[in-house]
Amino acid sequence: MVTGRNASCKNVDKVLEELSDGCDICLEMRDVTPLLLIENGDQYYVNVRGIIDRLRLLDVQTLVQSRFGVECARLFKVIIDFKYIGERQLGEICLMNLNEVRQCLYTMMNENYLEVQEIPRSVDRDPHRTYYAWYVPWIALHEKVLCSMYNCLGNLLERKQLILTKQEELSTQLPTSKSKAGQRENLDAQLQMANNALAKVQVAITKLLHQIMLHRDF
């Protein structure tokens, strides 16, 4: 017979096991980030570093997809999983022909999202007998992502200021147009458009600030 206390302990053990799922898998092979890590067999602590790294990774993958497209994002994810991988392997895994793979890889490399490591198979370093392994330069890419976010934030703040200036100009014109109904309606419509644009820009700024906080402050 299971008592209430024993049942409660079993439930706790089950929850802890689920939250620490993936701890027994090699770090290079797992695709699940455990929320808890185990120390000394029976002590649990929150995997803060792993969770933050996973969030950063997902954010960068989203950025890659929005910037380069779905095919590049798929290649990027496979490169992350394998750390170092060749073009032919990428094509086989992602079901893409070699020309498409190369086009995507070099597009991302030109933007410094990827780098390639030359691994010569002969002493003379013959290019035809050299293996080219693609990888993600995380440190440089992280700095690039942050720099891009700062530039984007600057553009958004500039855009916000322009909208505020436009709102102020429209607001000053409203009292002088009371006698002209058509002009008043036109000004009201422009002011509403400016308000909508300002709301969208503010949402984008807030979201971007959260992303900057994730990549800079943790």
pLDDT digits 0-9 by tens, 83-110:
999 999 999 999 999 999 999 999 999 9
pLDDT for the residue numbered 141: 92
- 3-class SS at 23? coil
Stretch 50-76: mean pLDDT = 92
pLDDT digits 0-9 by tens, 7-21:
466 576 666 566 566
- Residue of 115, 112, 99 lying closest to 68 (CA atoms): 112
Q: β-strands 43-46, 36-39: how paired?
A: antiparallel
- Residue 85 phi/psi, 5-degree rounding, is -155, 150
pLDDT for the residue numbered 217: 87
Mean pLDDT, the chain, integer? 83
pLDDT for the residue numbered 9: 61
Q: Per the confidence metrics, is the pTM higher than 0.85?
A: no
Residue 207's pLDDT band (boundaries 50, 70, 90)? very high
Domains of the chain listed by start with CATH number: 4-46 (no CATH), 51-136 (1.10.10.10), 140-216 (1.10.287)
170-173 LR contacts (CB < 8 Å, sep 24+): 170/194
pLDDT for the residue numbered 115: 95
As given in the structure block, the two tokens for residue 54 are: 């996973």
H/E segment holding residue 85: none
Judge whether residue 28 has pLDDT over 50. Answer: no
pLDDT for the residue numbered 130: 85
Strand partners, 74: none
